[in-house]
Amino acid sequence: MCGIGPFVTIPLMVAAFGGPQAVTGFVAGAVLALCDGLVWAELGAAMPGSGGSYVYLRQAFQYRTGRLMPFLFVWTAMLFIPLIMSTGVVGFVQYLGYLAPGLGRTSGDLIGLGIIALVVLLLWRGIEHIARITAVMWTVMIASVLLVIVAAATGFSPHRAFTYPAHAFDLTSNHFWLGFAAGLTIGIYDYLGYNTTAYMGAEIKDPGRILPRSILFSILGIMAIYLLLQIGTLGVIDWQRMTDPKDIASTSVASAVLEKTWGRGAADTVTVLILITAFASVFTGLLGGSRVPYDAARDRVFFRPYEKLHPKHRFPMLGLATMGVITAVGFLIGRHTDLATLIQLLTTVMVIVQALAQIIALSVLRKRQPTLRRPYRMWLYPLPSIVAFAGWCVIYGYADKNSPGRHPIEWSLAWLALGCVAFFVWARLEKVWPFGEREISEEYVPAPVPDGQPAEA
pLDDT for position 283 = 87
Query: What is the secondary structure of 112-166 as a DSSP string?
Result: HHHHHHHHHHHHSS--TTHHHHHHHHHHHHHHHHHHHHHHHHHT--HHHHH-PPT
Residue with more model confidence, 203 or 69: 69
- Give residue-wise pLDDT tens across range 296-336: 898 888 999 999 888 887 888 899 999 999 999 999 999 99
- Give residue-wise pLDDT tens across range 392-443: 999 999 999 989 888 999 999 999 999 999 999 999 999 999 998 878 877 7
**For the chain, what percent of residues have pLDDT higher than 90?**
60
Instruction: Evaluate whether the domain defined by 5-430 bears CATH number 1.20.1740.10.
Output: yes
Residues 26, 28: Cα–Cα separation, whole Å: 5
Query: What is the secondary structure of 226-256 as a DSSP string?
Result: HHHHHHHHHTTS-HHHHT-TTSGGGT-HHHH
- Give residue-wise pLDDT tens across range 343-375: 999 999 999 998 999 999 999 999 998 888 899
Q: Which pTM was predicted?
A: 0.90
Sign, CA dihedral 94-96-101-103, equals: negative
- Give residue-wise pLDDT tens across range 5-39: 888 999 999 999 999 999 999 999 999 999 999 99
Question: Among 411, 389, 387, which Cα is nearest to 400's?
Answer: 411
Angle formed at CA 6 by CA 384 and CA 24, multiple of 5 degrees: 50
Kindly report the number of other CB atoms within 10 A of residue 296's CB atom: 28
pLDDT for position 157 = 93
Domain spans in the chain, listed from the N-terminal domain onward: 5-430
- pLDDT at 235 exceeding the cut of 60: yes
pLDDT band at 127 (very low <50, low <70, confident <90, very high): low
